[in-house]
Amino acid sequence: MLDIQFIRDNPSLVKDAIQKKQTGSSDLVDTILELDTSWRKAVTAHQELKTDSNAAAKQIGFLMKSGQQETAQALIQQNADMKTRLATLEDESRTLQVELENLLLEVPNVPHASVPLGRTEEDNEVVYEWGEKPVFNFTPLPHWELIEEHGLVDFDRGAKVSGAGFPFYRGLGARLQRSLIQFFLDSAARRDYTEIQPPLVINEDSARGTGQLPDKEDLMYEAKRDGLYLIPTAEVPVTNLHRDEIIAEEELPIRYCAYTPCFRREAGSHGKTVRGLNRLHQFDKVELVQFVHPDASYEALESLREDAEALLVALGLPYRRLLMSTGDMGFTQAKKYDLEVWSPGQQQWLEVSSISNFESFQARRMNIRYRPAAGGKPVVLHTLNGSGLALPRIVAALLEHYQQADGSISIPQALQPWTGFQTIGP
């Protein structure tokens, strides 16, 4: 959420952000400012009338003590009328405030000045590329064929038990999955992240706090009977961990890592590449979350990006870094990188991580502040998060990248201490 004072001072900038992010009409800003003016007038009128009412109450007391009951009775009636008007103004200001807060939730974050202007994913900028794409002396297979050959994942039984997009991992496939999770968590711990094991369901306030509501309702699974949602990512519960809290400045930065399954309906994904592990309704991911001082958030963004990229380097997977354009970066982000690994079996890039700086956008929605060490009022801090990493496409890329001519699959050396095996297959 943007600060209302920021919108008052920068209406053109906010309108421009709405247009660049393609998230609705810039007329929303005018509606908000009109509502804000009405709300402030109602609040001012309430305050002024309350002052008059308090003064009248004191005068009534003086008149009663001095024996001027008739004059006091007339003033009592006037004060009763003022109190009726006060109640009306209070209801009016409360209604206007709720309407204003609801509209503020629909305003996207303002993109950072370094974010490229664009409307689609084609406008994202490739700013870095690492590693060499593998060259095979045989035709590399896509991961779904390798999975079937080695019995690593059972899509058919997953569809029978739950539905498409809910696979069973089995045998070495399950062990590979578990090993990657442990590898990612241990790597984060070495980089001073505190491990968190969060709930897998969230309430509406939590979903609203990180920006899933009112923007991504169609992507979340909902347990309507209990008013809960299955988490789309660990970002949501972990960032809400400090909702409505004031943190001492000396405690910043706070860095958390968390492994969770993630649940996404993937509404609107028809027509995209969905075969195999490319797009699932349930998948595993390790998430990195940071709470930082506003002056340090862009330095933290680059550090967070390096933490995610270090995992890809350790696994030896060629990757590229994309700086996301205004039209493809999302509603809540001020700046966002995507990391994509090369899939030799599919001859395409697969996204495995998004690293984002939200500045104060999420923290303001969740009322997360820090208390300055030098004293003064609490200040809204900045939040960041990034995938470190998302497993399905990492598994797909590993299988395809390390497949051998004899049909076996090598395990990267950095991962072998966690897997306990060096190859899959003969």
**Does one domain contain both 311 and 395?**
yes
CB 257 within 8 A of CB 193: yes
CB atoms inside a 10 Å sphere around CB 48: 11
Instruction: Give the pLDDT confidence score for residue 72 in this predicted structure.
Output: 63
What are the beta bridge partners of residue 203? Answer: 228
Residue 339 and residue 229 share a domain: yes
In a domain, 113, yes or no: no
Contacts of 298 (CB under 8 A, 6+ apart): 112, 335, 357
Domain count, the chain: 2
pLDDT < 70 positions in the chain: 60-61, 63-65, 67-70, 72-73, 76, 267-273
| Domain presence at residue 110 | no
For tokens 């004293």, the residue is: 375
Q: What is the CATH number of the domain that holds 419?
A: 3.30.930.10
Domain assignment of residue 47, yes or no: yes
In single-letter form, the type of residue at position 311 comes to L
Q: Does residue 351 have an active-site annotation?
A: yes
Residue 43 within any structural domain of the chain = yes
Instruction: Kindly report the length of the chain.
Output: 426
Residue 267: per-residue pLDDT: 57
Contact 331, 108 (CB under 8 A): yes
So what's the pLDDT on residue 160?
97
114 within some domain: no
Q: Which of these is catalytic: 354, 356, 360, 387?
A: 354
Active site residue 264: yes
Q: Are residues 66 and 125 in the same domain?
A: no
Could you confirm whether 94 is annotated as catalytic? no
Do 362 and 322 have their domain in common? yes
Strands (E), 254-318: 254-263, 282-292
Q: What value does the mean pLDDT of the chain take?
A: 93
What is the helix (H) or strand (E) element at residue 145, kind and residue range? helix 143-150
Instruction: Give a yes or no: residue 149 inside a domain.
Output: yes
Closest to 370 (Cα-Cα) out of 206, 242, 265, 240: 242
Q: For the CA atoms of 211, 257, 368, 106, what is the dihedral angle to 10 degrees?
A: -10
Exposed, middle or buried, 166 (CB in 10 Å: 0-12/13-18/19+)? Answer: middle
Burial of 138 (0-12, 13-18, 19+ CB in 10 A): exposed
Which of 104, 136, 155 delimits the end of a domain? 104
Residue 271 confidence (pLDDT): 47
Q: Are residues 56 and 128 in the same domain?
A: no
Catalytic entry in 255, 264, 305, 364: 264
Domain boundary among 46, 77, 104: 104
Tell me if 61 is assigned to some domain.
yes
Rounded distance, CA 207 to CA 87, Å? 33
- Look up the CATH number of the domain holding residue 49: 1.10.287.40
Same domain, 148 and 57: no
Amino acid, single-letter form, for residue 68: Q
Residue pair 60/73 in contact by the 8 Å Cβ criterion: no
Residues 53 and 126 in one domain: no
Q: And the tokens for 197? A: 């094991």
Alpha-carbon span 334 to 363, nearest angstrom: 13
Q: Is 8 among the residues known to form the active site?
A: no
Are residues 86 and 147 both part of a single domain?
no
- In tens, the pLDDT along 249-260 reads 999 999 999 999
Check whether residue 209 and residue 96 sit in a common domain.
Answer: no
Q: Does residue 161 share a domain with residue 90?
A: no
Cis peptide bond N-terminal to 389, omega within 30? yes
Last residue of a domain, one of 43, 76, 104: 104
- Tell whether 12 and 139 lie within a shared domain: no
pLDDT in tens, 171-210: 999 999 999 999 999 999 999 999 999 999 999 999 999 9
pLDDT for res 217: 81
Q: Which among 158, 354, 353, 390 has a CA at the least distance from the CA of 262?
A: 390
Active site residue 243: no
Catalytic residue among 106, 351, 371, 410: 351
| Same domain membership, residue 88 and residue 56 | yes
- CA separation for the pair 290, 89 (Å, rounded): 42
Catalytic site residue from 279, 371, 408, 410: 279
Domain span including residue 376: 121-424
Contact of 112 with 357, CB cutoff 8 Å: yes
Neighbouring residues of 260: CB distance < 8 A, sequence distance ≥ 6:
198, 200, 231, 233, 234, 237, 284, 285, 287
299 within domain boundaries: yes
**Quick check: 335 and 112 in contact, CB under 8 A?**
yes
